[in-house]
Structures are given as C-alpha cells and as structure tokens.
C-alpha cells in the first residue's frame, strides 16, 4: 500500500473510532490502540503534508491562537423559544395551536440542555463553518474552536449541503475537574457548566478548547423541509448523517403526556451527566409548523417548559450559613 492509501485508511479508521467513542458513547478499541494509530497518522502527515485530509482526526488536537472572531450572518435566523412554567401554560400553548389547525397534534418532547446554541454549515458533507447564536441574525465565527469538539463530525456520512443547530455543553464531571484544576492554579472558578462552556468557546487559543472536554447534542436542521415531513424524522436524519442526538426525546400525543414527561425529567435531571434547564416541546408535523408560523422572535409551534433553578448543595450551604 502506498503512503497516500495508508493515510486515507488511517483517517477513515480513526474517524470511525471517534464516531463510536464520542457520538455513540460506545468505544470500539482501547486508548493504546487508538493512540498508536493516531501517532502513525501524525508521522505520515508530517512527512507528507500535501496528503493531509480535511477531516483528519489529527485536527482535533493541538491548535493555534486566533487574532479574533469574525461576525457571520446566519443563512436562516436562530430563533428563541417562548417559555412555559406550569401545566396551564402548556395547555394554553396547545389551545393556541389547535385554534390554527384542524389536524390532530402530535408533539416531540426533548431535553433542553443547559449550554449554548451553535449553528454548523456543511457543504458536500464537509464542515465549512460554525458560529454562535449571537442576536439570532448575526453570530461569531468559531469554526476553529468547534472543530476541536470530538462529537462534532468534520465529515458526514453523505455529501449533503445542510445547516444544523445544536447545544454545546460541558458535562458535569468535566466541569468539576476543570474547577478543581483552576482552584489548584489559583484561577477564578466557573459558576456553572454553561458559563464554563461559553468561556471555553470564547478562547482564541484553540488548543485550550481541545483539552476542555466539551460535547454537543444536535436538535434541528435549519433547511429542514429537505430532509423529512416531521421533526422526529429530521432527528433520525441527523443521526444517520453522523450527528449526536440526545436519546431521550419522545413522540407524545397529548399535552397531558407532555406534562408527565416534564415532571418525570424534573425528578431525574440530577442523575444526568449533563445539566438541563427544562424540556423543549415541538409540534411534530412540519406542515402544521408551517401553518402556525412565527412571532417576531419565536416559532408558534414550539415552547420551552422551564424547570425551577436547581440549588446545588454548596449553594444551599451558603444560604444556610449566611442566614
């Protein structure tokens, strides 16, 4: 086999291992095997810089210091969500939707990850740009930082043109370790995983992002009507393309079932390895979504059910001792 073929073979093997480890959370090989293949690829790439592939796993480590972040216009605006705080807010949402369509409503409920929203653009299946939400119309180009997040695919399973949205977050364990390390280094601690994720993505030194164990769950396709007729089909399409989708979403056929799902996860949230601040409820049918349309800043076919802020044990201690 010539060196070009070996570089291609190693790139595909390591991309598959990354996908199983970081997207499916099901490792295929142990670290020693992975690291020795990566070392071989790094060596061949160093000796043949012209043969390095755009989606090479060696791009996930190390990095460079950027001068700044460019402003970028979103092709499709990134909308915000109206909020619901109790069952009657949820009923109002359902009643408003029923007034605008004669069809029966099916909902999709999904966990609302407490992180920061990003949008990613792929051309012919290759990641070309990633940006923060910003004000919904204009965000910051953070492509180089997002490439360091191993659960963000650099190349999709199909050569499609697609823009997808997801929530970048820092798992609770990574957050605790980072704050412990910052305490040792006498640096200020982060208040919560969301701030830690946001602070990490603002770093101009991309090698810092590579070390911070950020992750992502994808939740929507911006040019959505090209991939399915329901939101749940779009979530399946995202998975088939190689995107990491939170497995706890559920199709529900009444707002009572939606409320039960919200209560269920309000109890279970502390057992999750990441923070959530609520549940997002969407009407599943894309044609009904089109019938309902949007207000100035939010879809009428989606709503966020917000959980009360979770008091961590240390915060409870503060409150107790200062009283």
Residues that bind ligand 3B9 (CB under 6 A): 76-79, 81, 110, 112, 117, 165, 167, 219-220, 280, 294, 299, 302
Shortest distance (Å) from residue 164 CB to ligand 3B9: 10
| Residue number, 15 or 220, with CB nearest to ligand 3B9 | 220
Distance from C-alpha of 216 to C-alpha of 166, rounded to nearest angstrom: 6
Known catalytic membership, residue 112: yes
What crossing angle do the helices spanning 255-268 and 87-99 adopt, rounded to 10°? 150
CB of 197 to ligand 3B9, least distance (A): 13
Distance between CA atoms of 234 and 245, rounded to whole angstroms? 11
CB 174 within 8 A of CB 182: no
Dihedrals φ, ψ of 168, to 5°? -85, 135
Q: What are phi and psi of 229, to 5 degrees?
A: -105, -5
172-184 vs 193-201: helix axis angle to the nearest 10?
70
- Nearest CB to ligand 3B9, comparing residues 252 and 280: 280
Question: Beta-carbon neighbour count of residue 78 at 10 Å?
Answer: 20
Q: Which is nearer to ligand 3B9, 60 or 112 (CB)?
A: 112
Alpha carbon of 235 to those of 29, 245, 261: distances in Å?
Answer: 28, 7, 19
Q: Can you tell me whether residue 292 is helix, strand or coil?
A: helix
- Beta carbon of residue 218, minimum distance to ligand 3B9 (angstroms, whole number): 9
Q: Considering only the C-alpha atoms of the chain, give the largest distance between any 2 of them, rounded to a whole number of Å.
A: 72
Residues 6 or more apart in contact with residue 37 via CB below 8 angstroms: 10, 13, 14, 17
Question: Cβ closer to ligand 3B9: 200 or 220?
Answer: 220
- Please state whether beta strands 302-306 and 83-84 pair in parallel, antiparallel, or not at all (unpaired): parallel
Q: How far is the CB of 75 from ligand 3B9 (least distance, A)?
A: 9
Nearer to ligand 3B9, 20 or 263 (CB): 263
Residue 166 CB, nearest distance to ligand 3B9 (Å)? Answer: 8
Which one of the listed residues 70, 98, 99, 112 is annotated catalytic? 112
State the minimum distance, in angstroms, from the CB of residue 110 to ligand 3B9. 4
Task: Give 14 or 216: the residue with its C-beta nearer to ligand 3B9.
Answer: 216
Side-chain half-sphere exposure of 173, counting CA atoms within 13 A: 5
CA distance 203 to 57: 21
What is the set of active-site residues?
112
């Amino acid at each position: 086999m010539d060196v070009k073929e070996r570089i291609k073979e190693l790139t595909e093997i390591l991309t598959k291992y990354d996908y199983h480890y970081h997207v499916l959370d099901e490792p295929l090989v142990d670290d020693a095997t992975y690291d020795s293949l990566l070392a071989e690829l790094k060596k061949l790439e160093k000796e043949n810089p012209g043969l390095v592939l755009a989606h090479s796993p060696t791009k996930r480590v190390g990095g460079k210091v950027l001068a700044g972040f460019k402003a970028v216009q979103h092709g499709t605006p990134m909308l915000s969500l109206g909020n619901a705080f109790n069952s009657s807010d949820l009923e109002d949402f359902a009643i408003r939707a029923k007034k605008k369509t004669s069809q029966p409503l099916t909902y999709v409920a999904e966990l609302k990850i407490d992180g920061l929203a990003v949008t990613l653009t792929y051309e012919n299946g290759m990641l070309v740009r990633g940006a923060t939400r910003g004000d919904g119309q204009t965000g910051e180009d953070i492509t180089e930082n997002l490439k360091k997040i191993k659960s963000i695919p650099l190349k999709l399973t199909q050569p499609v043109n697609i823009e997808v949205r997801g929530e970048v977050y820092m798992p609770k364990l990574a957050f605790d370790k980072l704050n412990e390390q910052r305490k040792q280094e006498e640096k200020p601690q982060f208040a919560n995983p969301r701030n830690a994720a946001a602070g990490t993505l603002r770093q101009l030194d991309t090698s810092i992002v590579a070390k911070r164990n950020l992750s992502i769950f994808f939740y929507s396709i911006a040019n959505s009507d090209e991939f399915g007729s329901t939101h749940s089909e779009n979530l399946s399409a995202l998975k088939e393309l190689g995107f990491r989708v939170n497995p706890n979403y559920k199709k529900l056929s009444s707002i009572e079932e939606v409320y039960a799902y919200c209560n269920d996860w309000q109890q279970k949230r502390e057992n999750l390895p990441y923070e959530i601040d609520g549940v997002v409820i969407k009407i599943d049918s894309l044609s009904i979504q089109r019938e309902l349309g949007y207000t100035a800043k939010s879809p009428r076919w989606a709503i966020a059910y917000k959980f009360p802020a979770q008091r961590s044990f240390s915060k409870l201690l503060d409150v107790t001792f200062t009283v």
